[in-house]
Structure 1
Amino acid sequence: MEKFIVSARKYRPQTFDTVVGQQHITTTLKNAIRNHQLAHAFLFCGPRGVGKTTCARILAKTINCENPTPEGEACNHCHSCKSFNEGTSLNIHELDAASNNSVDDIRALVEQVRFAPQAGKYKVYIIDEVHMLSSSAFNAFLKTLEEPPPYAIFILATTEKHKILPTILSRCQIFDFKRITLQDTVDHLHGIAIKEGIQTDEAGLQMIAQKSEGCMRDALSILDKIVSFTGGQVSYTNTLEHLNILDADYYFKLIDNMLKQDLAGAMLLYDDINKKGFEGDSVLNGFAEFARNLLICKDERVAGLLEVVESFRQRYAETAQKTEAGYLVSILNILAEAELNYKAARNKRLHVEMALIKLCYLRQALQLTSDGSTVDKKKVVDTARAVAFKNINPISVQPDASAPVNVPKPAPTPAPAVKPSVASAVTKQQPEEAKLIIETEPVHKQAVIKEPKTAYTPPPPPSPPAPGNTKSKLGSLQSLRQQIQEVHNNQVIREDLPLEMSSLRKAWDKFIEQLKAEKNPAWQSFEVAELMIKDANSFDATANNNINQKFLDFERNKVSEFLKHELHNRQLQFSVILIETEQIQEVIEVPLTSKQQYQKIIEQFPIVQELRERLRLELDF
C-alpha cells in the first residue's frame, strides 16, 4: 500500500516561482541572490499557512545551489539541491522555538554557528515560531544575530511579530507576508485537482477558498477531506454539507421575508435551519456576513471586497437594489448585539427568534421614525436675534396749561439707552397694560425701575422747537413720548399686602393641588408642613423629618414665586425649619441567658451555691 502524503506537503513549492500569492517577497529575494546582496538575518512574519517556512527553505536551498539559474532559482540537479530535497543537507538547520525556547537551546545553537560549512557557501539556520523564545533566550541570541560569521544566515519565522523584542527586529530584514487572495487559492486548487484527477466545479473551489480565509494550507487540508468524503468529486453541494455551512439561498429567502414583514415565513425558515443542526450563533454570524455583502453591493467602488461564489453575484446585486443602506446598517447593529449576548442567553433559540422578530418589523419602525408619526418632536423656535435701536433723549411730558411756563432747567443728564423691552411695549400700543418696566443704563450705575410706588415727577419740558422745524424728523419721536406718558399715567401703583394666615393657607393649598396635578411627589411634604407667620413679609414652614425638608428646599424657588403672585407681596420670604418628632422606643424584653438565670437563682437562694460547691459541680454556660 502506497503511503499517503497530504497535499500541503506533496505540493509544497520548491522554487520561488511556484510560491502562490507572495510575488512581492519572492521577487525581492531572487534579486538579492542574483545581485549578491543577501542580508545576514531575515524575519518572515504573517498569517498562518501563507508560505513563510516554505520561502525560508527555498532561500536556503537557492543560496547553496552550485548552478543557479539566471533568474535566481535553484537548479534542483546539483548535489546540494538533491541533498536538500532528500532532507540530508548539513548546511540547513531548522529549530522549533516553540519547544526549544530556553537559554540552553540558544546557547547550543550559538555553539554550532562557530563551525564553518564543510560543503557549500552558507549555513542557514531557520528558527520557526521565534516569538515563543523567552526574554533570556532573546538576549543570549542578540550578539550572534548582530555580528554572525560571514557564512551564517538566520531566517526567523513568526505569526506574532508584536511579541518579538525591538532589539531583534532592528537586526533583521523584515518581510511581511499577506493573505492569499480568493482567486489565487482557487487557481492553485484547480491545478492540483487536475494533477490528481479530481472532478471539481468553480463554486465548490470558491467555497473552499472562502472558508480557508487566505490560508493555503487550510485550503489544501479541506480539499483532501472533501475528496476522501466524496470519493474524488468536489461540488458546491457536498462542500456545503462537509463544511457545515449554511447555503446563501436561505439568507436570500430570509431577507425576502423581512422585506415583506412576513414573520411566519421567517420563523418557519429558521425552524428548518435549526432542524438541519445549525447553531443559532452560526446563523446570526452568517446572516451578518450576508448583510455586509449586500451593503458592499450598494457601491460599485467596493465591489472588489465581495468574496462570494460567482453564481451568487448577480443575485446579491439584485437584492441590494431592493434594500436601503440605512436598513442594512440597522440589521448589522441588531445582529451584532444578538451575537454578543448569545452566550449569556439561557434559551438560545428564543434569543435568535427575538432577533428575527426585530428584523421583520425593522422596516416599519424605520418608516414610522422617518415620518414622525409616533415621535414627539420638540417645537422648533427661531433663534432670537438682537434688534438695533437708536439712543433717544429722555422722555418728557407736555406741560399743563395752568402750570407756570418759566421752570428752571435741571442739569443735563446722559441719555439713557432704551432696551428692547421698552420698544416692544410701545410698538404693541396696548393701553390696557397695567405696568411698565423701564431699564436705563447711566454712565456710572445701572438703575432698574420696576413698579414705582411714588408718583412720577416728569422732567421739565425742553425748549420749544423753532417755528420752522415742526415737521422735522423727530415728529415720530414726539408721538412715541406721548404714548409712553399715557401708559405711565394709566399704571397702577400697587403696594405689598401683609401676610394673613387664612390667605397664606389658601395659597399654600392651591400650590399643593398644582403639585398633585403635575404628579410631583413633593405634595405630601407640603401637605404635612406646618406654617407659622413671623412678620408681615415672612413665615416659617416646619418639616418633621429630613426627607420632607429636602422636598421643601427643592421646591423653594417655585413656591416662593407662586406665593408672591397669589398673595400680592413681592417681598415675601419663608424658611424651612426641621423639627423632628420624638420617637417612642418600645422596650423589648430579652430572655436571660443560662448564666444570668443561675446568678438570679443564687441571689434568691444562696443554698444552691453552697450545694454546688460541696458536690464540686462544674457548670457549662
Structure 2
Amino acid sequence: MEKFIVSARKYRPQTFDTVVGQEHITTTLKNAIKNNHLAHAFLFCGPRGVGKTTCARILAKTINCENLQPDGEACNVCHSCVSFNNGTSMNIHELDAASNNSVDDIRALVEQVRFAPQAGKYKVYIIDEVHMLSSSAFNAFLKTLEEPPPYAIFILATTEKHKILPTILSRCQIFDFKRITLQDTVNHLAGIAKKEDIKAQETALQLIAQKSEGCMRDALSILDKIVSFTDGDVTYENTIEHLNILDADYYFKLFDCMLAQDLAGAMLLFDDINKKGFEGDMVLNGFAEFLRNLLICKDERVAGLLEVVESFKKRYAEAAKSVDAAYIISALNLLNEAEIGFRAARNKRLHVELALIKLCYLSQALAITANASNFDKKKVVEATKAVAFRVLKPIAAPLQKAPSAETKVVAKPEAKLVIETPVPKPVAQPMVEEQKPEYKPAQTAAKPAATKTKLSSLDALRNKIAAENGGQTVADKPLEEAALKEAWKKFIERLKESKRPAWQSYELGELVIKDEACFEVIVHNKINEKFIELERKEAGEFLQGELCNRTLQFTITLIEPPKDETIIEAPLTAKDQYFKLIEQYPIVKELKDRLKLELDY
C-alpha cells in the first residue's frame, strides 16, 4: 500500500511559477537572480500558510542551480536541484528558531558560516520563526548578519515582524507576504481536486477557501479531511456538516424575522440552531458577518469585498435593498455589544435571546428615538405660543362717536346704570385670529360719584352694543355641574383620540364649582397637576365654547393625602436591655458588682 502524503506537502510548490497568490514576491526574486542583484539577508514576513518557507526553499535551490533557466527558474535536473529535492543538499541549512533559540544555537550557526561550500555557489541558512530568538541570541547574530562571507545568504521567516529587533530589520531586505485571495484558493483547490479525481462542487471549494481565511495550508488540510469524510465526493451540504458551519439560510430567515418584528419566529429559529450544537457566540458572530455583507451590498463600489458563496450573492443584494444602512449599523452595534458581554454572561442562552429581542424591535426603537426630538420641539413652541384673540363679529349698525372723552352716565327705565366709554370706530371687516391689535394709548375715564359699581371696559363695550341694538344682550351661561361634567368628558375623549397621556390625569381630577364662571380641579399628586397644566390652555378654550361662557376659568388645586406616620419602636440596644433588666431584677446588678464584671456594651 502506497504511503499517504498530505496535500500540503505533496503539492508544495517547487518553482516560483507554482507559488499561489504571491506574484509580487516571486517576480522580484526572479529578476534579482537573473540580474545577479541578490542581497545577503532576506526577511520573509506575513500570515501563516502563505508560502514564506516555501519561497525561501525555492530561492535557495534556484541560486545554486547549475543550469539556470532564462526566466529565472531552476532546472530541477542538475545535481544540485536533484539533491535539494531529495533533501540531501549540503548547501542549505534550516534552523527552527522556536526550538533552537538560545545563544549557543546561534553561535553554532555562526561557526558553520566560516566554512565555504564544497559544491555550488552559495550556502543558504533558512531560520524559521526567527521572532522566537532571545535578545541575547539576536545580539550574537548581529555582526555575522551585517557582514557575512560572500558565499553566505541568510533567509529569515516570521509571522510576527513587530517582535524582531530594529537592528535586525535594518540589515535585511524585507518581503511582505499577503493573504491568498478567495478566488486564487478556489482555483488551486480545483486543480488539485482534478489531479486527484475528486468530485468537488465549486460552492464547497468556496466555503473551504472562506474558512481558511487566506491560508493555503489550512485550505489543503480541510480538503483532505472532507475527502476522507465524504469518500471523494465534496458537496456543499457535507462540507457545512463537517466544518460545523451555520448555513446562511438561517441568517436570512433570522433577518426576515427582524424586519417583520416576529419575535416568536426568531426565538424558535435560535432554538433550532441551539439544538444542532451551535454555541451562542457563533450565532452572534455569524449574524454580525451576515449584516456586514448586507452593508457592503448597499454600495456597488465595495462589492469586491463581499466574500460569500457565488450562489448567495444575488440573494444578499436583494436583501440589502429592503433595509436602510442606518438600521444595519445599529444592528451591528447591538451584536458587537452582545458578543463582548457573552463571555461574562452566566446564562449564555438568555444573553443571546435578549440580543434577538432587541434586534426584533430595533426598527420600532429607532422610530421612537427619531420622533422624540420632534415631540420635544413641538412642546417648546406650544409653551411659548402667543394668546390668540377671539374673532369679533362685525356690528350691523355703526356706532355714534361720543361727543366728549369723558364718561357719560345714562339712566335707563330699568334703573340700571350703563357706563359709556370712548370706543374707537369699528372696522367693517372682522379681526383675524391671533392678529395683534394696533396699540393706542388708553384714555382715563372719570369715576362716577353717584355709584360704587365698577365695570370693566369690556363689560361697558358689551352694554354699549346692547343699547344700540335695542337692549338685547347675549349673556354668558352660568356654570352647572351636569353640563360641566359632560363638557369635561368630551374634552377627555378628545385627548384620547389624539393619544395624549394627559387624559388619565383629567379623569382623576375632581370638579368643584366656585361661582358662575369659575370652577376648581382637585388632584392628589404632582404628576396629575403637571399633566392638567400642560393642556390647560386648550381645555379652557374648549370648555368656554361648549358651555357658552366666554369668561370661564378654572384653577388647579393639589391636595396630597396625609402621610402614614406610624411610629415604629426601635429595638433596644444591649445597654438599654441591661438597664431594663437590673430595674426589674436588682439582684443582677448585685451579682455583677460582687463578681467585679465589666460589661462590653
TM (norm. structure 2) is: 0.65
Tell me which residue corresponds to 2:182: 182
Task: Deviation per CA, 1:365-415: give whole Å up to 9, x if none.
Answer: 22233344995447668xxxxxxxxxxxxxxxxxxxxxxxxxxxxxxxxxx
Structure-2 residue corresponding to 1:274: 274
Query: Do the aligned partners of residues 431 and 78 (structure 1) sit closer, same or farther apart at CA in structure 2, a change above 3 Å counting?
Result: farther
The one-letter code of the counterpart of 1:363 is S
The structural deviation recorded for 1:209 is 0.2
Residue 149 of structure 1 aligns with an amino acid whose one-letter code is: P
Q: How many angstroms apart in 2 are the aligned matches of 1:292 and 1:431? A: 73
Q: How do residues 401-412 of structure 1 correspond to structure 2 at under 5 angstroms?
A: none
- Residue 568 of structure 2: aligned partner: none
Give the secondary structure class of the aligned counterpart of 1:322.
coil
Q: 2:233: which partner in 1?
A: 233
Q: Deviations over 1:470-525 (max 9, x none)?
A: xxxxxxxxxxxxxxxxxxxxxxxxxxxxxxxxxxxxxxxxxxxxxx9699xxxxxx
CA distance in 2, matches of 1:293, 1:5: 38
Aligned residue in 1 for 2:312: 312
Provide closer, same or farther for how the CA distance between residues 155 and 518 of structure 1 changes in structure 2, counting only shifts above 3 A. Answer: same
Q: Deviations over 1:151-196 (max 9, x none)?
A: 0000000000000000000000000000000000000000000000
The reply on whether 1:166 has 2:166 as its aligned counterpart is: yes
Aligned to 2:108: 108
Residue 89 of structure 1 aligns to which amino acid in structure 2?
S
Deviations 1:207-259 (A, max 9, x none): 00000000000000000000000000111100000000000011111111111
Q: Is residue 42 of structure 1 aligned with residue 32 of structure 2?
A: no
1:219 matched residue in structure 2? 219
Q: Distance in 1 between matches of 2:439 and 2:113?
A: 102
2:587 is matched with: none
- Is 1:90 matched up with 2:81? no
Code of the residue aligned with 2:159 in structure 1: it is T
CA shift for structure 1 position 599: 12
For residues 240-255 of structure 1, the aligned pairs below 5 Å read 240-255=240-255
Q: Which residue of 1 aligns with 2:287?
A: 287
CA shift, 1:118, in A, is 0.4
Shift in Å, 1:587: 6.1
Which deviates more, 218-227 or 351-360?
Answer: 351-360
1:68 maps to 68
1:603 to 1:325, Cα distance in 2 relative to 1, 3 A: closer
Name stretches of at least 5 consecutive residues in structure 2 with no aligned partner. Answer: 382-437, 444-524, 529-572, 582-589
Is 1:42–1:173's contact at 8 Å kept on the other side of the alignment? Answer: yes
Corresponding letter in the other structure for 1:120 = G
For the Cα contact (< 8 Å) 1:368–1:374, is it kept in 2?
no
- Does the CA-based 8 Å contact 1:15-1:73 persist in structure 2? yes
Give the corresponding residue for 1:485. Answer: none
Shift in Å at residue 338 of structure 1?
0.8
Superposition deviation, residue 96 in structure 1: 0.4
1:275: Cα distance to partner? 1.1
Rounded Cα–Cα distance in structure 2 between residues aligned with 1:428 and 1:374: 36
Q: 1:602 to 1:341 in 2, by over 3 A?
A: closer
Offset, 1:309: 0.1
CA distance in 1, matches of 2:13, 2:375: 64
Aligned-partner residue type, residue 60 of structure 2:
A
Superposition map of 1:358-437 within 5 A: 358-372=358-372, 376-377=376-377
SS at 2:155's partner residue? strand
Q: C-alpha distance in 1, partners of 2:10/2:295?
A: 41
Residues 1:11 and 2:21 aligned together: no
SS of the aligned residue for 1:4 comes to coil
Cα distance in 1 for residues equivalent to 2:267 and 2:274:
10
1:3 deviation in Å? 1.1
Task: Tell me what 1:134 maps to.
Answer: 134
Counterpart code for 2:277? G
Q: Which amino acid aligns with 2:104?
A: D
Aligned residue for 1:207?
Answer: 207
Matched residue type, 1:329: I
Indicate how the Cα distance of structure 1 residues 380 and 156 shifts in structure 2: closer, same or farther if over 3 A, else same.
farther
2:349 equivalent to 1:349? yes
- Aligned residue runs from structure 1 range 461-500, under 5 A: none
Q: Superposition pairs for residues 311-350 of structure 1, below 5 Å?
A: 311-350=311-350
Q: Secondary structure at the match of 1:25?
A: helix
> How do residues 582-601 of structure 1 correspond to structure 2 at under 5 angstroms?
none
Looking at structure 2, the residues matched to 327 and 603 of structure 1 have their Cα atoms a distance apart, in angstroms, of: 81
SS across alignment from 2:342? coil
In structure 1, what is the equivalent of residue 455 of structure 2?
A: none
Aligned 1:574-613 pairs, distance under 5 A: none
Change (3 A) 1:270 1:586: closer
Q: AA paired with 1:81?
A: C
CA deviations on 1:23-77 (whole Å, 9 max, x unpaired) are: 0000000000000000000000000000000000000000000001000000000
2: CA distance between counterparts of 1:69 and 1:603?
112
Q: Distance in 1 between matches of 2:151 and 2:78?
A: 20
How far residue 263 of structure 1 moved from its aligned partner, in angstroms, is 1.3
Task: Assess, with a 3 A threshold, how the Cα gap between structure 1 residues 66 and 428 changes in structure 2: closer, same or farther.
Answer: farther
Matched to 2:286, the amino acid is G
Aligned length: 417
Contact 1:97/1:128 (8 A) holds in 2: yes
SS, match of residue 37 in structure 1: coil
1:29 corresponding residue in structure 2 = 29
- Once the 2 structures are TM-superposed, how far is the Cα of residue 287 of structure 1 from its aligned partner? 0.4
1:193 aligns with 2:190: no
SS of 2:311 mapped into structure 1: helix
Write the letter of the residue equivalent to 1:346. Answer: R
Q: Which amino acid aligns with 1:161?
A: K
Q: Does 1:152 align with 2:152?
A: yes
Distance in structure 1 (CA, Å) of the matches to 2:135 and 2:274: 50
Distance 1:431 1:103 in 2: 107
- Contact kept, 8 Å, 1:227 with 1:234, in 2: the verdict is yes
- Relative to structure 1, the CA distance from residue 73 to residue 221 in structure 2 (aligned partners, 3 Å threshold; closer, same or farther) is same
Residue 78 to residue 270, structure 1, CA distance change in 2 (3 Å): same
1:93 match: secondary structure: strand
Structure 2 CA distance, aligned partners of 1:430 and 1:244? 90
> Structure 1 residues 117, 586: CA separation in 2 closer, same or farther (over 3 Å shift)?
closer
What secondary structure, in the 3-state scheme, does the structure 2 residue paired with 1:265 have? helix
* Shift, 1:19, TM fit: 0.2
Per-residue CA deviation, residues 118-155 of structure 1 (Å, 9 max, x unaligned), is 00000000000000001010000000000000000000
Secondary structure of residue in 2 paired with 1:286: helix
Match status 1:57 vs 2:57: yes
> Quick one: structure 1 residues 325 and 173, their matched pair in 2 at CA, closer, same or farther if it must change by over 3 Å?
same
Distance change (3 Å), C-alpha of 1:602 and 1:355:
closer
Whole-Å Cα distance in 2 between the matches of residues 304 and 2 of structure 1? 43
In 2, are the aligned partners of 1:369 and 1:375 still within 8 Å (CA)? no
Q: Deviations over 1:528-569 (max 9, x none)?
A: xxxxxxxxxxxxxxxxxxxxxxxxxxxxxxxxxxxxxxxxxx
Give the alignment's TM-score, normalised by structure 1.
0.63
- CA apart distance, 1:429: 7.1
User: Quick one: structure 1 residues 374 and 599, their matched pair in 2 at CA, closer, same or farther if it must change by over 3 Å?
Assistant: same
- In the TM superposition, residue 274 of structure 1 has moved relative to its aligned partner by 1.1
Q: Show the counterpart of 1:123.
A: 123
Secondary structure (helix, strand or coil) at the match of 1:43 reads strand
Match of residue 265 from structure 2? 265
Identity %: 80
Q: Tell me the distance in 2 between the aligned counterparts of 1:235 and 1:379.
A: 63
Amino acid in structure 2 at the alignment position of 1:34: K
Give the counterpart letter for 1:69 in structure 2.
Answer: Q
Distance 2:265 2:65 in 1: 67
